[in-house]
Amino acid sequence: MDILASIRKMLVPIHREGYVFILAGVVAMLVLGWLWEPLFWLCGLITCWIIYFFRDPPRVTPLGGGLIVSPADGVVSAVGRAAPPSELGLGPTPLARLSIFMSIFDCHVNRSPIDGRIAKIAYRPGLFLNADLDKASEDNERNAFLFETPHGQLALVQIAGLIARRIVSAVTEGESPQAGERIGIIRFGSRVDVYLPEGFEILAGQGQRAIAGETVLAAFGADRRVHGFRKG
């Protein structure tokens, strides 16, 4: 029983969005492998990558109502100020923004960056440019969330990438997820933008690797002092 418990701890859960792709990979292995053996091994490698892509590991989120944690695994590709998506109704004034780029090798399960109520979810169709490009924030297909928090309104935007073709939400308007809770997934390479309320100090830097639900991106005054975070 101890051995079985240890094996279960080692196995990383798979997001339900991946089941159909994994099944398709297994079927391709059997059918194409029957026709030509090298295709069995090729499809096997692809299926292993699909399993890896749709992994959904547990995360330990730091406590603090004034903390903003990363909503995605990946690299902080941009830190600056930009106007939030017009469909959220926040106006044209630029806000502090952090962008996290997810490669096809990153976990693509997105998590809530902060405790708050989801006041609005707005989907907008668009292009599928390379998500690492700055103009992808405006031109690509996206799904935007407006969070109401004790520190102000926060916007989170899921952006489809070059080969991403579906953005899936796991929450609805009116729900109040806690920081680190799963809110959706983007399939196959993409980006997430976070627009911060005024008063938050950005603690993450461009080029830094972030872990969804764990890496602190920004903090509100008192929480930064209590938790002892230092930029960089």
In a domain, 232, yes or no: no
72, 164: one domain: yes
Do residues 88 and 193 both lie within one domain? yes
Domain match, 75 and 108 both: yes
Residue 104 lies in a domain: yes
Residue 225, pLDDT > 90, answer no
Q: 19-27, long-range: CB within 8 Å, 24+ apart, which pairs?
A: 21/50, 21/54, 22/47, 22/50, 22/51, 22/54, 25/50
Q: Which two tokens stand for residue 64?
A: 């603090």
pLDDT band at 177 (very low <50, low <70, confident <90, very high): very high
Please check whether residue 55 is in contact with residue 14, taking contact to mean a CB–CB distance below 8 angstroms.
yes
Pair 118, 172: CB distance under 8 Å: yes
Do the domain assignments include residue 59? no
Task: Name which of 53-67, 101-115, 145-159 the model is least confident about.
Answer: 53-67
Does 201 reside within a domain?
yes
Catalytic residues: 190
Structural domain includes residue 165? yes
Q: Are residues 34 and 130 in the same domain?
A: no
Residues 78 and 35 occupy one common structural domain: no
Mean pLDDT (the chain) is 83
Band of pLDDT at residue 1, cut at 50, 70 and 90: very low
Residue with the bigger pLDDT between 210 and 134: it is 210
Residue 109 has pLDDT above 50, yes or no: yes
Range of the domain at 100: 67-227
* 73 found inside a domain: yes
Is residue 42 domain-shared with residue 147, that is, in the same domain?
no
Task: Give the per-residue pLDDT at 134.
Answer: 61
Answer yes or no: is 60 within a domain: no
Residue 96, token pair as written in the block? 């502090």
pLDDT of residue 95: 95
Q: What is the C-alpha to C-alpha distance for residues 95 and 198, in angstroms, rounded to an integer? A: 8
Please state the φ and ψ torsions of residue 29, each to the nearest 5 degrees.
Answer: -55, -45
Q: Is residue 119 located within the same domain as residue 222?
A: yes
Letter string b/e over residues 161-183, b meaning 16 or more CB atoms within 10 A of that residue's CB: bbebeebbbbbeeeeebebbbbb
Give the residue from 173, 103, 165 showing the smallest Cα distance to 144: 173
| Cβ-contact 67, 227 below 8 angstroms | yes
Give domain status of residue 61, yes or no. no
For residue 66, pLDDT beyond 80: yes
Number of structural domains, the chain? Answer: 2
Domain co-membership, 112 together with 216: yes
**For 196-218, what is the mean pLDDT?**
93
- 170 and 133, same structural domain? yes
Domain CATH code at residue 84: 2.70.70
User: Within this chain, do residues 96 and 140 fall inside the same structural domain, yes or no?
Assistant: yes
- Residues 152, 218 share a domain: yes
Pair (113, 201) in one structural domain:
yes
Q: Closest Cα partner for 75 from 128, 132, 113, 9?
A: 132
